[in-house]
Amino acid sequence: MGSAIQLNRVTKIWNEGEPGAVTAVDSLSLQVGQGEFVVLLGPSGCGKSSLLYLLAGLEQPSAGELLCDGARVAGPAPERSMIFQEASLYPWLTVLDNVALGLRLQGVEQPERDSRAQALLRQVGLGDMGQRRPHELSGGMRQRVALARALAMKPKVLLMDEPFAALDVQTRARMQGHLLEVWRASGASVLLVTHSIDEALALADRIVVFTARPGRVKHEVSVALPRPRNPHDPRMVDLHRQLTELLADEVDRAFLEQETR
Ligand SMILES: Nc1ncnc2c1ncn2[C@@H]1O[C@H](COP(=O)(O)OP(=O)(O)O)[C@@H](O)[C@H]1O
Ligand SMILES: [Mg+2]
């Protein structure tokens, strides 16, 4: 398995050289294989979003290098799509046009882009929602539209920053199911950030646990179990316990640091 993403000793210091400088990510090395589903798990403020911004090409690292498919990340590209916690759809466009927008910007002609967008909407279970506007949809539906829009660009890598955190528990579980289906069909690699151990265990091939800020890799756990996974499976229960312990230390550290800052 080749690597879709490779991070070599990446450091991100916000406001570098100023009094308010913050080291968000410290000399982090990480690889994500082609088609692999990796979940980053860590306490809040440990630099997870910062890392995704770097990978999306929205920010530059202070040191180290980021490679996507062997090429240095120099800026945003459709092959590295980012999905945020709140779907950022254009309210004045229909759902179908939101999904087709990237294709339009790439110069794909009308009937072709509409039929591709429609197929993607079907894939995320929204085949009959194309003519609606975003405000008519629930939060979960909007997030599925955002997913369809990202997939329209045939990304090699999907970067997802706590994409389901704003959704209720039931919707969240269904969204995870949708995501797994779409991931399998697309062959893309996924790097998903969450602070939910349950979510990490439901989704990941591999879970990377971050330390409290500055973010470094504390531990990696492979989850070699078929999906959908039963959370009551003894192996899952065991992994859950292991991750809870790993994370608890870091949450304590993050909390202490905030208290004493
Ligand atoms: N644009 C920014 N400017 C300055 N500091 C930032 C910026 N974004 C994040 N930070 C700081 O970097 C640290 C890590 O933040 P972030 O990457 O958002 O963590 P996480 O996503 O793990 O919660 C925090 O201390 C945060 O305040
Ligand atoms: Mg974040």
Mean per-residue pLDDT, 202-225: 94
Residue from 49, 159, 211 whose mutation best tests the ligand 1 pocket (most atoms within 8 A of CB): 49
Find out whether the beta carbon of 45 lies less than 6 Å from any atom of ligand 1: yes
Cα separation, 244 vs 238, whole angstroms = 10
C-alpha 171 chain-centroid distance: 17
What's the confidence (pLDDT) of residue 1?
56
More confident: 188 or 251 = 188
The per-residue b/e assignment along 13-25, b for 16 or more CB within 10 angstroms, e otherwise, is beeeeeeeeebbb
Checking if the pLDDT of 43 tops 90, the result is no
| Two tokens, residue 72 | 């240095």
What's the confidence (pLDDT) of residue 258?
72
Cα separation, 225 vs 104, whole angstroms = 40
Find out whether the beta carbon of 84 lies less than 6 Å from any atom of ligand 1: no
Indicate the Cα dihedral angle 140, 113, 133, 172, nearest 10°: 0
Ligand 2 mean position to 107 CA, how many Å? 34
Find out whether the beta carbon of 44 lies less than 6 Å from any atom of ligand 1: yes
Output phi, psi for 228, to 5 deg: -70, 145
- In this predicted model, what pLDDT tens digit does every residue of 124-168 receive, in sequence order? 899 999 999 999 999 999 999 999 999 999 899 999 999 998 888
Ligand 1 mean position to 66 CA, how many Å? 19
Take atom 27 of ligand 1 and give the residue whose Cα is closest. 45
Number of helical (H) and strand (E) elements in the chain, helices listed first: 7, 10
Residue 87: closest CA among 41, 155, 135:
135
**Cβ partners under 8 Å of residue 242, min gap 6:** 221
Q: What CATH code would you report for 3-79+155-260?
A: 3.40.50.300
Kindly identify the ligand whose nearest atom is closest to the C-alpha of 165: 2
Find out whether the beta carbon of 55 lies less than 6 Å from any atom of ligand 1: no
H or E stretch covering 178: helix 169-186
Cα separation, 249 vs 43, whole angstroms = 10
Checking if the pLDDT of 203 tops 60, the result is yes
Confidence of residue 52 (pLDDT cuts 50, 70, 90): very high
Output phi, psi for 217, to 5 deg: -80, 120
Query: Where are the strands (E) in 69-152, listed by range?
Result: 71-72, 80-83
In DSSP terms, which residues pair with 80 in a beta bridge?
Answer: 157
- In this predicted model, what pLDDT tens digit does every residue of 108-117 receive, in sequence order? 999 999 999 9
Checking if the pLDDT of 231 tops 90, the result is yes
Find out whether the beta carbon of 24 lies less than 6 Å from any atom of ligand 1: yes
Find out whether the beta carbon of 129 lies less than 6 Å from any atom of ligand 1: no
Kindly identify the ligand whose nearest atom is closest to the C-alpha of 18: 1
Which protein residues have their CB within 5 A of the ion that is ligand 2? 49
